[in-house]
Amino acid sequence: MKKISVKKILAALPLAAAVLFSPLLWADAAGDTVTALQKSWAQIKYRTAEKQQADKFAALARQARAATAEYPNSAPVWIWSGIIRASYAGAKGGLGALSAVKAAKSDLEHAIAIDGSAQDGAAYTSLGSLYYQVPGWPIGFGDDKKAAEYLQKGLEFGANDVDANYFYADYLFDQKDYAQALTYAQRAEAAPADPARPLASEGRLGEIKKLKARIQQKMR
């Protein structure tokens, strides 16, 4: 039997460690985590009864928080932590949800500080959606002007992104600019679906169609 050299094994360990913890493998692991969070979010959002969503989003938010600790330099991980926390706040509702909304805002700002272009500017789009949906001072941080700025910035990175166009359309509808809202709703409807996220794509398309119907009703 060939003698195993302990010296050679020890010499190889730094190389093995370098491969194991290389940035590429770290990015792949973070990407897998984001994919898992996305799928869980879509399952709760589009396949779970509304009365059960708050508890499920709360549990998913804890997973997302753990992911940000594990991958602190991953903008997509922070984006999805923010999205999940915002969704939890929406499902919970009431003044008790404000702390979750503020935490979501912080996560999205953190993502922008790392890489605002990540995922077609999703952090800008998500942050913009919070600014027009959250009450203004003194209750919350809502601000229509900031909402427009962030949503437009999201469109700079994701001109053909379904969410960037959908949320800007929803914002314009909220501002009673129905003609422009319809334009962006149509762009959202025509945006390519994400084959890796069929449930989310299907659910968002349903929301777009409902928004379009509301806009067209206002334009009659």
pLDDT digits (tens, 9 = 90+) for 24-43: 444 578 999 999 999 999 99
Task: State the Cα–Cα distance between residues 218 and 198, nearest whole angstrom.
Answer: 31
Confidence (pLDDT) at 5: 46
* End-to-end CA separation in angstroms for the chain: 87
pTM summary value? 0.87
pLDDT band at 2 (very low <50, low <70, confident <90, very high): very low
- What percent of the chain has pLDDT above 70? 87
Residue 17 predicted with pLDDT over 80: no
Q: Which two tokens stand for residue 205?
A: 């398309």
Residue 2 lies in a domain: no
**Lowest model confidence (mean pLDDT) among 5-19, 23-37, 195-209:** 5-19
- What's the pLDDT at 186? 98
**CATH code, domain carrying 143:** 1.25.40.10
pLDDT score recorded for residue 120: 97
| Residue 180 belongs to a domain | no
Residue 145 CA to residue 218 CA, distance in Å, equals 23
Find, among 141, 197, 147, the residue nearest to 167 by Cα: 147
Q: Tens digit of pLDDT for each residue in 62-119? A: 999 999 999 999 999 999 999 999 999 999 998 889 999 999 999 999 999 999 999 9
Residue 203 within any structural domain of the chain: no
Task: Classify residue 193: in a domain, yes or no.
Answer: no
Q: How many domains does the chain have?
A: 1
Q: Which two tokens stand for residue 71?
A: 């991958």
Give the integer Cα–Cα distance in Å for 51 and 87: 13
Q: How far is 178 from 118, CA to CA, in rounded Å?
A: 30
Indicate whether 117 belongs to any domain: yes
> What DSSP assignment string belongs to 64-77?
HHHHHHHSTT-HHH
The whole-angstrom separation of Cα 182 and Cα 169 is 7
Query: Is the CA virtual torsion 191, 85, 123, 194 positive or negative?
Result: negative
Question: Residue 127's pLDDT band (boundaries 50, 70, 90)?
Answer: very high
Task: Note whether residue 179 is domain-resident.
Answer: no
What is the span of the domain harbouring residue 63? 11-158
129 domain-assigned: yes
Query: Is position 219 within any domain?
Result: no
